[in-house]
Amino acid sequence: MTAQIIKTIIDVIISKELNLERLVGAGGMPSCHSATVCALATSSGLIYGLGSFAFAISCVFAVVVMYDARGVRRETGNQAVLLNRMMDYIKATEPVQWKIQFNQEKLKELVGHTPLQVVVGALLGIGMAFALYSIL
């Protein structure tokens, strides 16, 4: 939740307008995916110990999720950018063909994360886990 709120605040600062979709949407700084799985792994390590099965499984899960957020999902966003540009071109140059063959809404472009967004999300998740562990 903290990552999504930070992401929304950063988006407001950059775009100068409030986009409530950022509260639940994927992509952007910091990575909520990374924050969540790193908080889970850190909490497992703190509660069950670094040699526990729960910690091992949550670490593997964290690596897979962060790899996916940075790799596959990022590439999906890059492809969406290109496809949206192609659709805009077709719509502008062949409006009749566009309406007959495509008539497609724009694809969501912000679905993945840069390596920096993944790292910042991971650090946020680890920090939040330590903070909550020390309070509770």
Q: What is the CB neighbour count within 10 angstroms for residue 130?
A: 14
Phi, psi at 40, each rounded to 5°? -65, -50
Question: Phi-psi region for residue 135, left (φ > 0), alpha (ψ -120 to 50) or beta?
Answer: alpha
Q: Could you tell me the two tokens for 16?
A: 């100068």
Q: Provide the pLDDT for residue 90.
A: 79
Query: Shortest CA distance to 70 belongs to which of 125, 113, 25?
Result: 113
Element (H, E) at 77: helix 72-93
pLDDT at position 80 is 83
The per-residue pLDDT for range 28-59, each reduced to its tens digit, is 788 888 999 999 999 999 999 999 999 999 99
Strands (E), the chain: none
pLDDT at residue 108, as a whole number? 74
Entry pTM: 0.74
- Rounded Cα distance between 114 and 36, Å, is 16
The pLDDT of residue 87:
84
Predicted pLDDT at 24: 82
Contact between 113 and 69 (Cβ < 8 Å):
yes
Low-confidence ranges of the chain (pLDDT < 70): 98-100, 103, 110-111
Which amino acid is located at 40 in the chain?
L
